[in-house]
Amino acid sequence: MAALTMDSLKDYVRGGEQRRVAEGTVLLDITHNLLKNNYVEIPFLSSWSVLRCKEKIYTMMGTQISTMQLSLNGVPLDNDDMLLGRYNPRHSQVLHVIDNDPYSNARGGGLENVNLVKKYEMSDEDYAKRTNTYLNYKREQLKKNPNWKSIYQVKNKDRAHAESAEETLERVKVGMRCEVIGGRRGEVMFVGEIPELTAKSNGGQQPMPEPSSTPAATEESKEETKTETTETEVKSVVGKHVTIETEEEDERKSLLEKEKLVAETPFVQLWIGVRYDEPVGKNNGTILDKKFFEAAKNCGGFVKPEVLKVGDYPEKDPFDDSDDDEDVNEEL
């Protein structure tokens, strides 16, 4: 058996001489002295003149015909009137293009390097003049309602008032009886982080960050501090311009500072594994191919802390006809 070479492998992949092409058509590979990109198996007719071949290459590479030189497998194609077939072209032979134009756009990567293309940049002033932007939308909303907040701000505000991971771990313990929104009761079997499940529930996006718990100052301490510093503040501002802030402005600043704290604090998403009394779950304690606890088929589920309550929740009477139609969207 003959030894395989790279040329024989290339010929096999491309179909060799048995490939289906029209009679009189030859498939050539095109290279260029100024361009990095090569063109593979470009069809040419043997009945074309060298000039006709140059015209086709011009439409592909932009090289001017008057400054173009061609060679076929090292053989110069000097006569523009000569037919390509007279040079006995074969499939997969290399048709090399030489661009002799000293001012060619192809020099220095002019036709390939996108970093050389000047990018459009817009100034802040021009952007502020546009009407179909988020900035303009925000301005319009604030005109209608000075207390308007973006969705991101609302989510951060809600998260700031949400239960922290430490509070959840203190409130929910393995073995406690519980009830999930929708009236489904069971026993807590797992409390902890499941990063893969968090990523899945957020569609691959990072969840909103959770704030750290910082104790708020009491009204008494605030009043004492204010009394102690009043005299010093008065002395320091005598003869100076001052800005008096209203309570609304103080509240707005406080909210912005709190939202910034929320955004900068690492987020911890806890999941609670529940073994239901009845087959109203979605798994058997296994999720993402990992076993967390034992449960019968469809008697297991994983929920977020905000949809679960713990306490005195005994098993329901199976003959109770009451039915809670509340929708549940937080279980996996």
Helix or strand run (H / E) with residue 26: strand 25-32
Are 180 and 276 within one domain?
A: yes
Q: What is the DSSP letter of 281?
A: S
pLDDT band, residue 119 (cuts 50/70/90): confident
Q: Is the pLDDT of residue 189 over 90?
A: yes
The pLDDT value recorded for residue 331 is: 63
Does 303 lie in the same domain as 169?
yes
My answer on whether 132 and 57 are in the same domain is no
CA–CA distance from 70 to each of 2, 54, 55 (Å)? Answer: 35, 8, 12
Domain contains 86: yes
Q: What is the DSSP letter of 3?
A: P
On the question of pLDDT at 302 being above 60, the answer is: yes
Give the number of domains in the chain.
Answer: 3
- 173 plus 296 within the same structural domain: yes
Distance CA 249, CA 273 (A): 44
Residue 204's domain spans which residues?
165-209+267-310
CB-side neighbour CA atoms (13 Å) of 47 = 4
Q: What is the mean pLDDT of residues 86-108?
A: 92
What confidence score (pLDDT) does residue 163 get?
80
Residues 189 and 80 in one domain: no
pTM of the entire structure?
A: 0.38
Instruction: Tell me the pLDDT tens digit for each residue of 19-62.
Output: 677 889 999 999 999 998 899 999 999 999 999 999 999 999 88
Query: What is the predicted pLDDT for the residue at 264?
Result: 57
Asked whether residue 260 is domain-assigned, the answer is no
Whether 198 and 278 map to the same domain: the answer is yes
pLDDT for position 14: 64
Task: Return the closest-CA partner of residue 178 out of 310, 277, 271, 270.
Answer: 310
150 and 51 in a common domain: no
Q: What is the pLDDT of residues 159-184, one digit of tens each?
A: 656 788 899 999 999 999 999 988 99
In a domain, 104, yes or no: yes
- 82: CATH: 3.10.20.90
Q: Is residue 220 part of a domain?
A: no
The reply to whether 201 falls in a domain is yes
Mean pLDDT, range 99-109, rounded to an integer: 89
How confident is the model at residue 161, as a pLDDT? 61
Mean pLDDT rounded to a whole number for the chain: 80
> Are residues 85 and 183 both part of a single domain?
no
Is position 177 within any domain? yes
Q: What is the pLDDT of residues 228-272, one digit of tens each?
A: 544 444 445 455 554 555 555 666 666 666 556 655 556 678 999
Mean pLDDT of 272-299: 94
For residues 104 and 186, state if they share a domain.
Answer: no
pLDDT cut 70: percent of the chain above it = 69
**Among the ranges given (50-59, 297-306, 318-327), the one the predictor scored with the smallest mean pLDDT:** 318-327
Cross-strand pairs, 72: 75, 95
